Structure 1
């Protein structure tokens, strides 16, 4: 589209994109050879179709003389929209949702996913075709804010499912945190496929997602036998630093899985540390969570609640 519009207009469009978006578009532009008239016409038609739908949706949502900003909640800034179609989606089971949305645009699927409860969203993404799982996941990770136009457009797709029932819900944000939460409960094969493909295209995003998929406070979810193996891999001083800002629940988990002598040595190390910079604590905690992630990938530990699993003693 940008190539066919010429440099002047193309530069204006590129100027409105984020640095990351501009980088991706320029990469494709540099790799692009001659473009046929048929392709230009096809792209132009797709663009005008999407623009037309957005315009019609906005008019339906607000009326031609209303200001969309009037739908902003005064208390927290969340955007409110009429979501009768989304309400219908939320009432279905994961298999039905996946079957219904699998042929929709990945952006539409992403918006629906972030409105679902995490266990449901995890099952839905597992049931999507492999070829779109990663695309949808990346869109979830980059949906920091979901505006009214987006929600209304999705609602328009599904509004025939549930008629004559009015409901208003606050929009929900996506982002890396939300995707990590979903992938934590997604089946292992789908989760690995998605992360591997994201890593190939954006290693930084993949690293952020992996870090969010297990946080230090989740130590309490590790099975005791695996936890004892973990403690043997962690230096006492590093564990002491990590525990300086840990919850009582985490500390209890650690000491419960140590011998009385080892626990006394650890407590002495903590007492001797004195004040510690928060960055040192964060680094120590991240080192330990990295070890946990590596151990889980090798099947050396079990994390309760991961991918919807429960531990049976």
Structure 2
């Protein structure tokens, strides 16, 4: 359907950039700030068909005497192609995921948009094996919230089954898919297989410290080996010290400052020092003063701030924008 209504500023910018062609459009994206890229690319992806008259009206605002314009189509595919030409692959994918929203993602991402209360209330009436299958395929942060709302014994049963999902029968998975398809979403693509201990470790990473300790203790009582394996795979806040300096700079730039201040209040001296070393002497001194000025903090508030930072850090790691090295590797780099 053609766009004949009054265009917004971002929509006009999107029309103009697409009129200039992919190469020039990509060069313009390179000069824009992240928020501008997101705003314009979101508008671009939703334009649909824009008539030649509408294109010419937009172009006339920028240049009198601009030649005849052609009809253009703004859609997801065109937008993605333009972003990939202008941005690193990770950033382009991230922006396109935001633009597409729940309707354009996988079934398990759609399931992740259901309130944890609603999902927990539904799953508490299902077999633990069914719950294990579901929680192993949704986002770890969401799975952690759901597990926290389930009865503790039931949650422990689910976690132990998650560790053995390699043996799940196709019939069980098919049954789960059929139920979810009818009750939550229209279609269901199969999720990629992941190591069951890694899945559970990701979920533990998203528990607050109290729940993490309680469930880890219960899991250890059930199976010491499984607990040790999950613990070894967990990515903890203190492990940020194993991110090289340039990675910590990237992470710091992506964080809300108040989260960093509160999180470092409960951090080890080694981790604080690692962050301070990435700053100028003046900036490090200001950050130290801000941390000291907080005074005593509730563990709950520190945990919440550290969890916010871990969410950002994991996203950056997944995109390849930062890396996590072994301590030995970092020490070798310093030699």
Q: TM exceeds 0.5?
A: no
TM-score relative to the length of structure 1: 0.44
Higher relative contact order (CA 8 A, sep 6+): 1
TM-score relative to the length of structure 2: 0.41
